[in-house]
A and B are shown apart, each in its own frame.
Chain A
């Protein structure tokens, strides 16, 4: 219940500003409406990206300014606007109201709730388009953002403030990696706010994502921004910027934020559609000339701020869907060049049961080991080396010639390493358990375990360690390089468990 006196007091205060002052409006008239792209005359004082309001209350934003007219993309139903309708400029750039109330909510790119919960109270208006923080405000990426996926955390580490692309064909587990990462943030000491932006996705897919996040208890620290396939292209175009604007609100408060853009291919499609209707010159694959800038200005907003600026970060996980594993297409190459690395998922690997289907050879994190704790770093070097050697040898081994024992051993180790990096969906691991699994294989402690028993062995080993060797797991959680004593204890733990394992 809002206090009546407070409301009246506020109105009185506001009344002081209403009286006497004139209101200057810049008005215009709709000339034509082409599938949600409106050409209007007048509005001579309008600026690019400004919000305009139509007579019926619909809003739009200016995308083109010509000598005599302006082109506006309508953020609502196109059929309601007809020739001759009046419109006025608002003097504001397009923005989204953000507050802590957004956590756990599903909204559209304009901040309107899409769930059946109460209206979201007004928060701080964050502009959708904003210039990314400058060089002086930033600091290098140095804190890991744990995905809970062994293969990623050990070989392609993601740091807070990094932009890591997830790329692959359809049905290869791109969204699954993003969701696992969101779910894994539950266990963080410093809460990472997660924003999932669904662009051009089916409503059913968005519903599944929400359901899963809710089931895993991850919705309480997440915001879902959805512009589905049936929404206007203008909303799909704005969705990632809305996600970034929401992230910037939390960034200003010194928080760490993870933003997932699922996916930027459909975002580029939406922009292409708008650009073609706007009659902008079409370039390669009919995309407009500024499609690179479309994504670069978005991803440039992910940042790790220095302590003077609050020390918050925005980590971006853009997703790109390829066609027939072609990563050399226009949009994939663009986004690869913008981001700080990519996680490349392959259908072949997915089909042979390697899940997550990460192609380790073509995946890279340009931030490298600076986004890893000393614990994981101590084991990742050897892991990467042995896997690389395995890939080389596996190519030769296919010829079927006789192999010497050393080669055979290396091949066998490689198979085990590949096996241990497999991980079921929605079960991210903490760093200590990741280390335990990888170290057990890299150090040869699991050389006598049959490959087919690996998943069960690993799972039971984790349970055993949690029950009997919690001190070892604690020692591995510190982020420090494991001491010789800890390593010896791990060897003891594994050998003890092997005796119990049937």
Chain B
């Protein structure tokens, strides 16, 4: 089965923006092993596209602002002390960095590239 057909199956597996258990069971029972792998990957990718991961070193983060900025996304919060300060937003394959860690990495990178 080609990727286009798999994408179609993934698309019809959703009902009101969430997975329909019955449809998923029915589809997965009919697929071969290799197609099932493609189907699972397709579902994972779609879920990834629908969600937004916010990472921050602090616990009490106000997520409402992000809900306004990304209205159609399911927002997940992740605590990451290594970021030091600021916030990192992961939207599928795009990463927005507003962290101190990122600034320090940039300085380090600049020094490594320009000085022996």
Interface residues of A (CB under 8 A from B): 2, 7, 10-11, 14-15, 18-19, 22-28, 41-45, 67-68, 88, 119, 122
Shortest Cβ distance from residue A463 to the other chain B in the assembled complex, whole angstroms? 50
Q: Are B93 and A7 in contact (CB under 8 A)?
A: no
* 13 examples of A-B residue contacts, CB within 8 angstroms: A18-B106, A18-B107, A19-B103, A22-B98, A23-B106, A24-B95, A25-B94, A41-B45, A43-B93, A44-B94, A67-B3, A68-B3, A119-B116
Q: Which range holds the interface residue count of chain B?
A: 10 to 19
Q: Which residue of A lies closest to B114 (CB)?
A: A122
List of A residues within 8 angstroms of B113 by Cβ: 122
Q: Which residue of B lies closest to A46 (CB)?
A: B93
Shortest Cβ distance from residue A9 to the other chain B in the assembled complex, whole angstroms? 13
Q: Are A27 and B106 in contact (CB under 8 A)?
A: no
List of B residues within 8 angstroms of A41 by Cβ: 45
Tell me the B37-80 residues at the A interface (CB within 8 Å): 45
C-alpha gap A25/B114 in the complex (Å): 22
Shortest Cβ distance from residue A434 to the other chain B in the assembled complex, whole angstroms? 47
Partner of A24, one of B97, B106, B111, B116: B97
11 more A-B contacts (CB under 8 A) besides A22-B97, A23-B97, A23-B106? A2-B115, A10-B114, A11-B107, A18-B106, A26-B93, A26-B95, A27-B94, A42-B92, A44-B93, A44-B94, A122-B113
Shortest Cβ distance from residue B90 to the other chain A in the assembled complex, whole angstroms? 8
Q: Which residue of B lies closest to A69 (CB)?
A: B3
The 4 A-B residue pairs with the shortest CB-CB distance, nearest first, are: A42-B93, A25-B95, A23-B97, A18-B103
Q: Which residue of B lies closest to A97 (CB)?
A: B113
Shortest Cβ distance from residue B115 to the other chain A in the assembled complex, whole angstroms? 7
Q: Are B3 and A25 in contact (CB under 8 A)?
A: no
Tell me the B80-103 residues at the A interface (CB within 8 Å): 92-98, 102-103
Partner of B94, one of A7, A14, A45: A45
List of A residues within 8 angstroms of B97 by Cβ: 22-25
Shortest Cβ distance from residue B104 to the other chain A in the assembled complex, whole angstroms? 9
